[in-house]
Structure 1
Amino acid sequence: MGGLAMEEMPLSALFEEARKIHLGASESRADQDVVKKGCEMLQKCEDMVGKLGLFSSNETKEDISTNNLKYLLVPFYLAELTEKIKQEDRIPIVKASYAKLKEFFSFCEAMELVPEEELEASSRGGSAPPADRRALKIARFKRQKAAEAKLLEIKERKERRGRSKRAAALSTPVESGEEDIPDDDSEEERDAWLATINLAICKAIDLLEMLKREEEMLSAIKEKQLKDGEDVFSRDALDDRTKKAETWHKDAAARPGLNLPKFHPGNNTLL
């Protein structure tokens, strides 16, 4: 697929290429041209998902095919990549990223993927007592760790099965615990994507809070500068925001067990 133009690529290949860019941008300081290319690819994915009618407003997660589950992540990936775009006027970037995260959250809510306590907190806004907010963050952290553990379990099980198959092909004994490991790629693929979506929901909620605070800060700075007759943002404030955002993304990417599902190009099989 590497030689095809974006317009010629099927949705599965386009999504996989965009996902690789998203993953790379999460792990290191992102090249701006690559980030913008990833955003363009994800926007194309959005268009294709809409034209293909992959999702319906009256569906829940049980109604979505395993092969299509991954496309629920398109607005989340687009939000995270958009947030990494650097330009002098930061506010439009923050608003665009925030809007995509809200879109992702709302769609996951419609698919019955968002935990009830998060829905209740969202409906209350920021009016919950500090103790309740702390309890919610702890519960979210536990869900995130459970999803990460699930992904790690799937990854290790597939690796064991791979070793078992290779050993069988060579007619050599397999290690204890690796005999007759069931080959259930379809169920594993679904579990892996659901775990990845659950992780994304946790990250989206945290990022929504961060972006909301950032927009409030930048808007206050801009308003003050307009009153003072200034034309540019406070560089110190922007640098401080950049450091905080980079730390947030670095910590999120470095969490142990965060192994997203990988697909073999051409057949969408989990690796």
Structure 2
Amino acid sequence: MAEEPKSLKSVFEAAEQKRLALEGAFESSSPSYREDLAFALKSYQECLQIIDRISLFSSNEGLEDISTSDLPYMLVHYRIAELLQRVSTSSPQERKASLDTTRQAYERFLHLLDNYSILSASDRKLFAKYNDDPSSFSTISTKDPTARRNAKIANFKAEKELKQKLAYMRQSPRYLEDGGDEEAVRELHLANIAFCVHMTFQGLEGINREMEVLAQAPIPLIPPATTVEEDERRRRESLGNNDYSERLDGSLQRLQSNFKGPLLSQDGKPLRPFTLTANRQELQQGVFRPGHNLPTMSIDEYLEEERRRGNIIEGGGEASMRQPEPNEDDMEKADEETMKARYWDEFKEENPRGSGNTLNRG
């Protein structure tokens, strides 16, 4: 019995349920999160197939030709791009491919809205600016730091106002799809589309910034898809199984073959390594000598040579505090010390303490 084809509404609702569940999930690396993400992407892709099969949207129609219940299906490309941003990758190349797919989904979403003239005047200008140079697109064109800051604040305020408007409309019974006013429900869907357009331009700008970072990432030497075992097997095949060896040094026969034959070719080109020496006797004497230079003098001789050169400072330290003992037999030295002490006493009598201080006298 053939399986009954699914309706667009049922597939879209299943995808929306998974998407809303993913928004509240925190463990993005868990297997269940990846399974739900894959299921949501698959469901949205199935929605696109159904939309193409039934020709739900046409370039010959306008916004007034689309029924209110079909407006949410215009967000399928945006939802796919939104989910692709959450796909985890293991290499910069995979991330670049994922971002390219995300960019294409954003572009299809904007082209669909542009065909139905749903984009506002400001959004049409941004879309035209993006089409001129997609890789360098930015919602802030100026390089002035103050102007860029003000533009970012304006974007944040616009996003906040759209969120508040959607939250208010969804809480009001007038905008409920079941039992609500059709015009109000249509207004809610259009407001949601306007919010998604705003986030699309923010997402395209974020893709360009991330692409700039990924362009500076180093290219791995081994392709990510290959394993160490595959690389080892490929290397063995390139070297050949007959001559392959795990040894870092060559075989003895190969080493000996390098030292046979002529030293120079007929053109004077060296054919094997050699060493230039003054004579054969010097080479023989240097075979068993140590690898380091032996001392040429003793420590005492070295210190004596340094003292002769003046590189050793004598005196100072405790030696400078030691006073030589006076020699009692040296009368000249004793008289000299006596005259020095007498002269000092006379100087102190002629110049009493404080006599030179004339500033602090009362």
TM-score (norm 2): 0.50
Instruction: Provide the C-alpha distance between the structure 2 equivalents of 1:193 and 1:212, rounded to a whole number of angstroms.
Output: 29
Residue type at the aligned position of 1:154: M
Letter in 2 for 1:63: D
Could you tell me which residue of structure 2 aligns to residue 56 of structure 1? 58
Matches within 5 A, 1:66-145: 66-88=68-90, 89-124=94-129, 125-126=137-138, 128-130=141-143, 137=152, 140-145=155-160
Q: Which residue does 1:205 correspond to in 2?
A: 201
Give, in whole Å, the separation in 2 of the partners of 1:53 and 1:143. Answer: 34
Letter of the 1:203 partner, please give it.
M
Query: Which residue does the alignment assign to 1:11?
Result: 8
1:90 alignment partner, SS class: helix
Q: Could you tell me how far apart the structure 2 residues matched to 1:18 and 1:51 are?
A: 19
The 1:190–1:93 alpha-carbon spacing in structure 2 relative to 1, beyond 3 Å, is: same
Give CA-to-partner distance per residue, 1:23-51, whole Å, 9 cap, x none: 22223234011101110000000010111
Which residue does 1:243 correspond to in 2? none
Instruction: Give, in whole Å, the separation in 1 of the partners of 2:215 and 2:38.
Output: 24
The aligned residue for residue 191 of structure 1 is: 187
* Structure 1 match to 2:169: 154
Higher relative contact order (CA 8 A, sep 6+): 1
| 1:156-205 deviation per Cα after TM superposition (whole angstroms, max 9, x unaligned) | 321899xxxxxxxxxxxxxxxxxxxxx64322321221111111111111
Between the aligned partners of 1:185 and 1:66, the Cα distance in structure 2 is 11
Residue identity matched to 1:48: I
SS class of match (2:56): coil
Is the 8 Å Cα contact of residues 95 and 215 (structure 1) preserved in structure 2?
no
Residue 211 of structure 2 is matched in structure 1 by 215
**Could you tell me whether the CA contact under 8 Å between 1:25 and 1:81 is conserved in 2?**
no
Query: Structure 2: how far apart are the matches of 1:195 and 1:66?
Result: 13
Deviation at 1:21, TM superposition (A): 1.4
Cα pair 2:166 2:188 within 8 Å, conserved: yes
Q: Is the 8 A contact 2:48 2:76 kept in 1?
A: yes
Unaligned runs of at least 5 residues, structure 1: 162-182, 233-271
Residue 225 of structure 1 aligns to a residue whose secondary structure is coil
Larger radius of gyration: 2
Structure 1 residues 133, 100: CA separation in 2 closer, same or farther (over 3 Å shift)? farther
Aligned length: 202
Kindly indicate whether the alpha-carbon contact (under 8 Å) linking 1:121 and 1:128 is maintained by their aligned counterparts in 2: no
- Contact 1:79–1:97 under 8 Å retained in 2: yes
Percent sequence identity over aligned pairs: 25
Once the two structures are superposed, residues 222-257 of structure 1 have per-residue CA deviations (whole angstroms, 9 ceiling, x without a partner) of xx325xx3656xxxxxxxxxxxxxxxxxxxxxxxxx
Deviates more, 1:36-45 or 1:51-60: 51-60
